[in-house]
Amino acid sequence: MNKWVYIVLFIVFIVLSFLVGSWYSQHRAGGMNALHLKSPSTHAYEPDADSGSDSSSPPPLTVNVTPEKQQLIGVKVATVEKAPWSPTLRVLGRAAPDENRIYRIISATDGWVKKVLPFTTGSLVKKDELLATFFSPEFYSGIKAYLYGLRSLNRFEKSGKETKEQLELTGANVENYRNALRNLGMTEYQLDEIMRTQQGTDNIDIRAPAAGFILVRNLSPGQRFEKGSELYRIADLSKVWILADIFENEAQYLRPGKTVKISLPSQRKTFQAKVTDILPQFDEATRTLKVRLEADNPDYALRPDMFVDVELLMNLPPAITVPADAVLDSGLKKTVFVDRGNGLFEPREVETGWRISNRVEIINGLKPGEQIIISGNFLIDSETRLEIVAARMIGTLSKDPVCAMDVSINKAEKAGRKIKLDNSIYYFCSDECKEQFEKNPKRFAGKPLKNKETLSHKTHPGVKGE
């Protein structure tokens, strides 16, 4: 048991030695390691009156990075601007048949398949093209009655002896026989063929009701089918739907009637589509909204279930936007590094708005004209955190009793932001906090720290004077 205790203590000693040595080496090199963790949302940085913009009095938590190190870690700086932005929203879409252009051939009687033409799933067929033939005894009497009516009507028209009422009655009977066969499933094409030839048939045709692609085929030669069976399903793909998955905050940009661009990167083809009036449907599986678009489909390039790229050009009002990589999101706060010049970088907490493509809107925390890091900020943030830990271990940080922020003792003393009270020394991050403390010292002197970290006695706001 004692063996493991010694091992743990040895490891702790090694870590502490590394942190102290790192701080000491950078302190001797002139690095600014007396750091202060401050929230810009509550205290915006303002240079001291006596120092102006001089880098000798940098803002809290500023880190010094030499030009050589900046080049090594790939630091890139850009200027913050406030301007209108026209980003392109890109989402994934899926082609689907238009439900108004899907035709289902359903059997109205029992029957036996006699012949099936070689059209399979995916085949393109023309309107009234023969797909298959079948036999059903229910058609026999209907065809006989239809032929009898047609022959009677022709005979009456040739003789000229029948009255107008007789001709109209015979014509009405013929139409009734025709409707009866149509209800059993006979196509208009075959009904017209029987009328033209005046000949009956035992083979009932199944023909394509419209030009399109066969989605389903449930027939084979010699097969028996029952009434109500789906024999074929055909889709007219001259117009298709595009179902796009978008997030809730993006739905406002896809308004009904809006024109968007559809592309097939693999085929280098583009199309124009419009957002329909149908409200987006929520998909509980993907937690997104499905927006329906309608697009013409020349040459049938878009097939069902084919993935496409949907691109929408948006015109947004003027706003401060930065690259998404410039913002470090810890989950609790969002931070950017502001270039203060002379290799000094200030971590600044910001409030963000929308995020589209690779840009993020900054609502609060940055001003136009400031310089920020857009590349390499992650490594600088890691170095800053390491220096904070080292500073806490050797006691160079204190707590502001007013805002409970970390305060660099050296910087606070240099700026005159400290107060001695009851054998204790209090350090402040700003003149505002110091003034509030002076107005009511009893209120803040005994206030407990609201931090989650375990602090040494030297980092407590009531640091004993040495």
pLDDT score for 463: 38
pLDDT score for 455: 35
Tell me: do 284 and 187 sit in the same domain. no
Could you tell me the end-to-end alpha-carbon distance of the chain, in angstroms, rounded to an integer?
40
Tokens of 377: 């900020």
pLDDT score for 448: 52
Tell me: do 115 and 213 sit in the same domain. yes
Q: How many domains does the chain have?
A: 3
Domain harbouring 242, CATH code: 2.40.30.170
Q: Is residue 155 part of a domain?
A: yes
Tell me: do 450 and 381 sit in the same domain. yes
Tell me: do 150 and 173 sit in the same domain. yes
Look at residues 174, 194, 228 and tell me which one is the last residue of a structural domain.
228
User: What is each CA distance from 144 to 148, 198, 257, 403, in whole angstroms?
Assistant: 6, 11, 54, 99
Q: Is residue 364 part of a domain?
A: no
d(CA 81, CA 366): 10
Q: Is residue 437 part of a domain?
A: yes
Taking the CA atoms of the chain, what radius of gyration do you get in angstroms?
41
Tell me: do 184 and 217 sit in the same domain. yes
439-447: list long-range contacts, CB under 8 Å, 24+ apart: 444/401, 444/402, 445/401, 445/421, 447/401
pLDDT score for 465: 35
Tell me: do 114 and 248 sit in the same domain. no
Tell me: do 398 and 327 sit in the same domain. yes
Range of the domain at 300: 88-98+238-313
Look at residues 228, 250, 275 and tell me which one is the last residue of a structural domain.
228
21-27: list long-range contacts, CB under 8 Å, 24+ apart: 22/386, 22/387, 22/390, 23/387, 23/390, 23/391, 23/393, 23/394, 26/387
Tokens of 341: 């010049």
Provide the residue-wise pLDDT of the chain in tens; the chain has 466 residues: 556 555 656 565 565 565 555 554 444 444 333 333 333 333 333 344 333 344 445 555 677 777 887 777 778 888 898 888 777 888 889 999 999 999 999 999 999 999 999 999 999 999 999 999 999 999 999 999 999 999 888 888 888 777 888 888 988 999 999 999 999 999 999 999 999 998 989 899 999 999 999 999 999 999 999 999 999 999 999 999 999 988 877 777 788 888 999 999 888 889 999 999 887 888 888 888 889 999 999 888 999 999 999 988 877 888 888 888 888 887 788 888 888 888 788 888 898 887 877 888 898 889 899 988 888 776 666 666 655 555 555 456 778 888 877 777 877 887 888 888 877 888 888 888 888 888 888 788 765 544 333 333 333 343 333 3
Q: Is residue 233 part of a domain?
A: no
Look at residues 173, 203, 228 and tell me which one is the last residue of a structural domain.
228
d(CA 142, CA 160): 27
Tell me: do 164 and 246 sit in the same domain. no
Tell me: do 327 and 407 sit in the same domain. yes
pLDDT score for 446: 66
Tell me: do 326 and 458 sit in the same domain. yes
Beta bridge partners of 240: 97, 295
Tell me: do 21 and 136 sit in the same domain. no
Tell me: do 271 and 342 sit in the same domain. no
d(CA 90, CA 46): 40
